[in-house]
Amino acid sequence: MLYIVATPIGNMGDITLRAIETLKRCDFVIAENPGYSRRLLQYIDGLSVRTASVIASNDSVGMTAKKEVVQFAEHNEQQIVKELARRLSKQDGALITDAGTPGISDPGFRLVRECVKENVQVIPFPGPNAAIAALSASGLPTDKFLFLGFLQKTVSKTVEALQFAANAEATAIFYESPERILKTLSYISNAFPSSQVVIARELTKMHEEFIRGTPTQVSDALKDKPSIKGEFTVMISFK
């Protein structure tokens, strides 16, 4: 069985009771980033962690004190996805990613797709997600929204994706890096100058912040900062 376990996007207090129970109970953890999973498991229970290959060795079966962690990330997903799905038909694994809900803008969906194909049961354990947390406090319309993941980097692809959301009269949501945010805002300000933009930065962390305004106002507010750092979720309303 494959458990899809959402984990905190910053504040560890956002871990759910079901996530804790599932991470303790499962046979092994499948993680994008073993460093993050180690910190998370230590937070949960002081569990010690060992990394392992995808195949369970005899000594890892029935292990209680240590939780086995298998890495599933961009660099190895293609090599191990089938083998992992086969193992999940016999054992229970919990998929976690760097943070948030596994499968949302990360490689997790490929494992879910393979499990569905192989008739392995997949069970979601809902919890934190940056896009939904950002939207819920944005003040922008939430009745219809379009999640665009990470945008492609060219101006034409950016405008095309956002135009699609505008045509659908949906609030657009996407993830962006601090290095690219000003460039992306300049594209938005040229194509949709009177749109309403909300940036949710560092959600659930010490420096959590919402910046609201036209694309130019939001861009100016960012430029006023000594440096542009942190994790960004961007939302745009075209109404």
Binding-site ranges for ligand SAM (CB under 6 A): 9-10, 97, 99-101, 104-106, 129-130, 175-176, 200, 202-205, 231-233
Least Å distance, CB 162 to ligand SAM, is 16
Nearer to ligand SAM, 44 or 104 (CB): 104
> What is the nearest approach in angstroms of ligand SAM to the Cβ of residue 61?
30
d(CA 238, CA 169): 7
At its nearest, how many Å lie between ligand SAM and the CB of residue 65?
A: 29
- Cα-flanking dihedrals φ and ψ of residue 70, to 5°? -105, 130
Nearest approach, Cβ of residue 183 and ligand SAM (Å): 15
Query: Which residue's beta carbon is nearest to the bound ligand SAM?
Result: 100
Cα–Cα distance for residue pair 122/64, rounded to 1 Å: 23
For ligand SAM, give the closer residue by CB, 8 or 215.
Answer: 8
Rounded to whole angstroms, how far apart are CA atoms 163 and 24?
45
Are 157 and 37 in contact by the 8 Å Cβ rule? The answer is no
Q: Report the Cα 63 to chain-centroid distance in Å.
A: 29
Q: How far apart are CA 39 and CA 20, in angstroms?
A: 13
Q: Write the DSSP symbol of residue 124.
A: E
Between 60 and 204, whose beta carbon lies closer to ligand SAM? 204
| Nearer to ligand SAM (CB atom), residue 55 or residue 123 | 123
Q: How far apart are the first and last CA of the chain?
A: 44
Considering the complex, state which of residue 141 and residue 178 has its C-beta at the smaller distance from ligand SAM. 178
Q: Minimum distance from CB of 59 to ligand SAM (Å)?
A: 32
Which residue shows structure tokens 């961009």?
74
Beta bridge partners of 234: 174, 199
